[in-house]
Structure 1
Amino acid sequence: MSVVEERYEKWVNSPNLDESYKEVLESMNSEEKNDAFYTTIEFGTAGMRGLLGPGTNRINLHTIRKATQGFADYIKEHGEKACEEGIAIGYDNRHMSKEFAFDCAKLLAKNGIRSYVFESLRPTPELSFAVRHLGCFGGIMITASHNPKEYNGYKLYDEKGCQLIPSLASQVIDKVNAIEDELAISSDITPEQEALYTVIGADVDRPYYDAVESIQLNPEVEKNIKIVFSPEHGTANVPVREIYKETGYDVIPVLEQCTPDPDFSNTPTPNPEQPGAYELALKYAKDNDADIILVCDPDADRMGVGVKHDGEYVVMTGNQSGAVLLEYILSQLEEKGQMPTNPVMFNTVVTSDLGEKVAADHGVATEKTLTGFKFIGEKVAKYEQSGERNYVFGYEESYGSLIKPFVRDKDAPQACLMLAEAASYYKNKEGKDLVDVLNDLYAKHGTYEETQVALSLEGEAGANRIKQILSDLRTDGLTEIAGVPVVRFEDYKESVIKEDGKTEELEGFVKSDVLKYYLEDGSWIAVRPSGTEPKCKFYYCVKGTDKADAHDKTLKYQKAMAEITGTAE
């Protein structure tokens, strides 16, 4: 009997199997069985994310319990104080999110660990805030972020409200992997144990809203802009609309996308990186002559932006909106004499060079991290403790940013408020829209086009193909791309830099399967497997003499990389 058959038979015949899964298992064909059982869903440094359903390679009550029991064993190892401080638990609008969250609370209680679980869906950044606000030992967030409706996920946070960094996550992973039978774990508890979990809501909402509203730099600015806003059926609906109401902004909600619908019925995609997320919001914007469009992903840690410019709506990339936010914040801190000493901005190794140039123009240092906001959160905590540098902004190219670090994750409600303020400020003080501001940055620092190509490769064969692409690139050692010389190569898995015929150690990063090629013309290309989806991602930051030149170069580099990796259609 194959491993797949053994696992399948164990599940379908287990007396402990949740009854909701039995019928699905019995209806599976051989291909479905293989995909559900060929491996055990990975609990990695970003937690777990995967398709919902029964099986060892799926997100379900049993795999969630296995992860939670491993986390509970980790907590108990830290002593009674950690158990008493407890865990904050949040969840989004997805199928089974609430059930998973309360099941986690019960399983923690069974282990003698206190928890605080939200009464209903809340944003990921509010969960991060709650960990620190309640003085918890850590947190659990049930979410699959921007993934399609078929997915769900599980993220863990430390006492600083930051997602577990690899050194801590590896300790939890060891505990999770030591559990041999996820089907044997029960969350049944006694009435006495039930007292260990507390339901929370407005008692955390109000302090979080107050903290978000405290980020305003020009609260008195005339708020004569129209904002079309969509939460994409997710958790941003209540907090963002309430914060806008309290701060005086005119917001027009995309009502069809304001219901917490796990099927995302009224949006082609909940991912702000994809055009479908903006379709209905664009219609609202045109009908209402709106100035800006703001779209949040389901767990409200990312914000997409559309801007009315010369009569048309322009959807900004995360690199562009991040650079504009950065310019606004730094210019205002300088103007008001509020720039801290030794200021630092954080972004990632796959974020555009434009932000670094904006920061340098304002005397702000830039430090880069690997993809994953936990690395930025880790640096924030480090400098907060040492006092060596002072945080002023952090962002990723994938629409995630953090204005003030009372949260230690990406925070879309903060970003929505600051973006609205920036749009109001530039309209009233300088007669500009946010695309005008971006064009000014290009004129000053050089024109960039940043794009991402995500190659979807599903299942076991897809996972192997992604590994092969990275392995082949690593082995081949590209010296040119589309005829343009590679002047520097960084391999974050092997921790090496190759430049001018020399090989040096790449320091300051944990090992990660990322390759980055710097080209002679000032552009770069990076390749990495997604940590949350079955995709191989190609990032392009292309510098041109103007927008047309940058675009032509981008197409040339994309074609060349598709040919090099054998992924051309």
Structure 2
Amino acid sequence: MTAWMQVYKKWDAFEELDPSLQLELEILKNDHVKLEDSFYKELEFGTGEMHGLIGPGTNRMNIYTVRKAANALANYLFATSVNVKDRGVVIAYGSRFMSKEFALETVKVLAFYGIRTYLFESAIPTPLLSFAVRYFGTTAGIMITASDKPKEYNGFKVYNEDGAQMTPKEADHFVSYMGHMEDELSVPFLEQKDLEEKGIIYWVKDEIDRAYLERLRYISKMEHEEQLKDKDIKIVFAPLHGPALPLVKEGLEQLNFDQVHLVEEQAIPDVEAISTNIEKHEAFQMAIELGKKVDADILLATYPNGDRLGVAVKTTEGSYQVLTGNQLGSILLDYILRHSDPNVYRNSRVIKSVVTTELGRAIADSYYVKTIDTLTGFNHIGEKIGMFDSSGETFLFGFEESDSYLVNGFARDKDAIQASVMTAEMVYFWKKQGKTLLDVLEDLYQKHGYYLEGTSAFALEGENDLSKIKEIMNQFKENPPKEIAGLKVKQIENYEKRERKFVVDGLAEDILLPKENMVKFYLDNNAWVCLCPNSIEHKIQYYYGVCGESMEDSRNLLSSLESTLNKMTEESLKKQRINFVS
């Protein structure tokens, strides 16, 4: 009998198995492929986060895999924190299937260990959880969410006591405790009826909302008198069936943005209608239709988690152009720097990932502000902000290309609520100058260069695909190309070796970033390419950027880079006899 079959038999024989899961197991008996996929491994943790399809099995999100994660967290906290029981853990959830149920199961396990828990009464946007950790001073936070995965998924994301997603080092330590409880079916927990009696659970209502909105008010760059004025801009807002509506709406109203038109069809949290394809712009269609109807200046769309923001701007022709995350981040950065006190520039810092546009660095440089690069993932930006508490540096703005922004460090994760309010304020400011955000973007291009970015991915198929990904990455690192698309390679950053090598003179220096299996090539003319393997999705992601003297020049360079990378990868795959899906 195979190992996965033994685990399945154990589950099937478990007399106290949840009835709904038992019913699903009965159905799975007739589908050997799905049955094996449900039990052949345990759900993997990324950086303090696991997610998967909802259903029975060790490779699925269900009450038993959630209990096991909660049990690991309890033991991890007792080993790494002080006063754990009294400080407690704050737990929140989004609007996906089983979210509140998984949150309650987490509470039951933590309560068994006597750990106080703060549980939100209803679904909230993810950045509010980050804020709540800091507000209550808890040892950790848990968000039940699957980020941008399809509606059939859910997840378990862990935040540290600083309100940031776990760092890689913290996550590795936490994951080590998963193995302490081999049998997920026997995790100890308290029954729900005992939670209230023991006074160990605190239901979070609107206290956090009020505190968050009070902090949100003070991120504005407008003078107090300007804040009180009615704003003559029309905003269309689409929450995309997530729970961000109340906070975004009230955040805008605080600054007297009262011409907000809601996309009613996408206003109510609804897991069946969750849209995860905002980056492909289909989710903007209803907002665009409403925008044309009301002649809106700006369209805002928060991702279902309320953590990322998409923005579309009205063009001179009356249509709407969706900004990329790199474009909006650059415009926001310029607005914030333009309205920040130059007396604190010396210690102010902009933080972005290594695959985010270099236009951000160019803008920051023009204001004499230092830019700090991190690895991909907003957990690294949150970690860096925490370091500023002891270094004397000041956080000014953080962003990633994936529509992720943080304006103020009172939260330590990407925050679409902050970004929505700041974007509306920025549109208002520039409209008074007779400009749209597209005009401002063109001004930035003319001043700094026409920066454009692109991405592509190769998903591998067949057995041992993870080892094949490693082989491809090793080939690029051990035998790096001398040029890509006719552009010479000037500098190579190998994040696994934590080494930066200068090609011309062969000199090398250390990179002060965590170890990661990634490599970035800096090319002539401010172009660059970065390779990032994704072991969970079994693919290699390419990021690349260019900077031309005109938009046409940049588009041609970007197209050349993309086609060249495709050819290079195909050749590499053929040499290794690897099948791929582009």
Instruction: Using structure 1 for the length normalisation, give the TM-score.
Output: 0.94
- CA 1:522/1:341 → structure 2, altered by over 3 Å: closer, same or farther? closer
Residue 8 of structure 1: aligned partner:
8
Tell me: CA distance 1:291–1:148, structure 2 relative to 1, closer, same or farther (3 Å).
Answer: same
Say which is worse superposed, 414-423 or 92-101, in terms of deviation: 92-101
Equivalent positions of 1:311-326 (< 5 A) are: 311=317, 312-326=319-333
> Aligned in 2, Cα 1:198/1:532: closer, same or farther, shift over 3 Å?
farther
1:151 aligns with 2:153: yes
SS at match of 2:310: strand
Q: What SS is found at the alignment partner of 2:242?
A: coil
Return 5+ residue gaps in structure 1 as ranges.
none
Contact 1:234 1:297 in 2 (8 A): yes
**Cα deviations by residue, 1:363-401 (Å, 9 ceiling, x for unpaired):** 1111111112121112211112332x1111111111111
Pairing 1:326-475 to 2, within 5 Å after superposition: 326-334=333-341, 339-387=344-392, 389-428=393-432, 430-456=433-459, 463=466, 466-475=469-478
Q: CA deviation at 1:189?
A: 2.9
Within a 5 Å distance, the mapping from 1:163-562 to structure 2 comes to: 163-189=165-191, 191-194=193-196, 195-218=199-222, 220=226, 223-249=231-257, 250-264=259-273, 269-311=275-317, 312-334=319-341, 339-387=344-392, 389-428=393-432, 430-456=433-459, 463=466, 466-500=469-503, 502=506, 504-530=508-534, 533=537, 535-562=539-566
SS at match of 2:272: coil
Q: Which amino acid aligns with 1:315?
A: V
Q: CA deviation at 1:468?
A: 4.6
Q: Say if 1:407 and 1:79 are closer, same or farther in 2 by CA, change over 3 A.
A: closer
Mapped to 2, the partners of 1:531 and 1:126 lie a distance apart of 29
Deviation track 1:328-354 (CA, whole Å, cap 9, x = no partner) reads 0100114xx564541111111111100
C-alpha separation in 2, matches of 1:515 and 1:12: 45
CA distance in structure 2 between the partners assigned to 1:133 and 1:381 by the alignment:
15
Shift of 1:186: 4.4
> In structure 2, do the counterparts of structure 1 residues 480 and 12 end up closer, same or farther at CA, with 3 Å as the change threshold?
farther
- The alignment partner of 1:485 has SS state of strand
Structure 2 residue ranges without an equivalent (≥5): 571-579
Q: Is the 8 A contact 1:35 1:460 kept in 2?
A: no
SS at match of 1:363: coil
Task: Describe the shift of the 1:471–1:38 C-alpha distance in structure 2 as closer, same or farther (beyond 3 A).
Answer: farther
CA distance in 2, matches of 1:122, 1:338: 37
The 8 Å contact of residues 125 and 407 in structure 1, kept in 2 or not, is answered as: yes
Distance 1:535 1:293 in 2: 33
Deviation at 1:228, TM superposition (A): 0.9
Which one-letter code corresponds to 2:187 in the other structure? Answer: I
Give the Å deviation of 1:101.
0.9
Out of 20, 41, 44, the residue aligned to residue 42 of structure 1 is: 44
Residue 367 to residue 255, structure 1, CA distance change in 2 (3 Å): same
Looking at structure 2, the residues matched to 79 and 563 of structure 1 have their Cα atoms a distance apart, in angstroms, of 50
Larger displacement relative to structure 2 (71-80 or 513-522): 71-80
Question: Quick one: structure 1 residues 106 and 465, their matched pair in 2 at CA, closer, same or farther if it must change by over 3 Å?
Answer: same
The Cα offsets for residues 295-344 of structure 1, whole Å up to 9 and x where unpaired, read as 1111111111111121221111111100000000100114xx56454111
Aligned residue in 2 for 1:22 = 22
Whichever residue aligns with residue 206 of structure 2, its letter is A
Is this contact kept in 1: 2:461–2:581, CA < 8 A? no
Paired position in structure 1 for 2:577: none
CA distance in 2, matches of 1:507, 1:417: 36
1:59-86 Cα deviation digits (max 9, x unpaired): 2211111111000111223466122100
Closer, same or farther in 2 for the Cα pair 1:400/1:118, shift >3 Å? Answer: same
Distance (Å, rounded) in 1 between the aligned partners of 2:208 and 2:46: 29
- Bigger mean CA offset, 338-347 vs 151-160: 338-347
Looking at structure 2, the residues matched to 214 and 510 of structure 1 have their Cα atoms a distance apart, in angstroms, of 33
What SS does the corresponding residue of 2:411 show, helix, strand or coil? Answer: coil
> How far apart, CA to CA, are the structure 2 residues paired with 1:119 and 1:34?
36
Residue by residue, what CA displacement relative to the aligned partner does 1:227-260 show, whole Å, maximum 9, x if unpaired? 1111111121221112222322121111111111
Change (3 A) 1:534 1:263: farther
Letter in 1 for 2:323: M
When residues 84 and 460 of structure 1 are mapped into structure 2, their CA distance, relative to the original with a 3 A threshold, is: farther
Deviations 1:390-424 (A, max 9, x none): 11111111111111101111111000000000000
Map Cα deviations across residues 26-66 of structure 1 (whole Å, 9 max, x no partner).
32322212322232211232411222222222222111111
CA contact (8 A) 2:141 2:163 kept: yes
Distance, in Å, in 1 between the alignment partners of 2:509 and 2:186 is 46
Kindly, what percent of the aligned residue pairs are identical?
40
Change (3 A) 1:437 1:452: same
Q: Does structure 1 conserve the Cα–Cα contact (< 8 Å) formed by 2:501 and 2:508? A: yes
Q: How many residues align?
A: 562
- The structure, 1 or 2, with the larger RCO (C-alpha pairs under 8 Å, 6+ apart) is 1
- Kindly report which structure 2 residues correspond to 1:127-146, keeping only aligned pairs within 5 A, or say none: 127-146=129-148
Distance 2:281 2:460 in 1: 21
CA contact (8 A) 2:346 2:369 kept: no
Bigger shift: residues 209-218 or 458-467: 458-467
After superposition, the Cα gap between the structure-2 partners of 1:257 and 1:326, relative to the gap in structure 1 and judged at 3 Å, is same
Corresponding position: 1:563 with 2:567: yes
SS at match of 1:17: coil
Q: Which amino acid aligns with 2:253?
A: K
1-side partners of 2:458 and 2:231: how far apart?
A: 42
Task: Give the alignment's Cα RMSD to 1 decimal.
Answer: 2.1
Normalization by structure 2: what TM-score? 0.92
Please give the alpha-carbon distance, in whole angstroms, between the structure 2 residues aligned to 1:30 and 1:494: 42
How many angstroms apart in 2 are the aligned matches of 1:460 and 1:23?
31
Deviation at 1:460, TM superposition (A): 7.0
Paired with 2:561 and 2:428, the residues of 1 have a C-alpha distance of: 37
**Mapped partners of 2:566, 2:359: distance in 1:** 25
- In 2, the alpha carbon distance for the partners of 1:503 and 1:42 equals 39
Cα distance in structure 1, aligned partners of 2:219 and 2:537: 33
Q: Is the 8 A contact 2:450 2:550 kept in 1?
A: yes
Aligned AA (1:434): L
Match of 1:216, SS state, is coil
Letter in 2 for 1:369: T
For 2:539 and 2:301, the matched residues in 1 are separated by: 23
Query: Is the 1:459–1:534 Cα contact (8 Å) retained in structure 2?
Result: no
**Distance in 1 separating the partners of 2:365 and 2:521:** 23
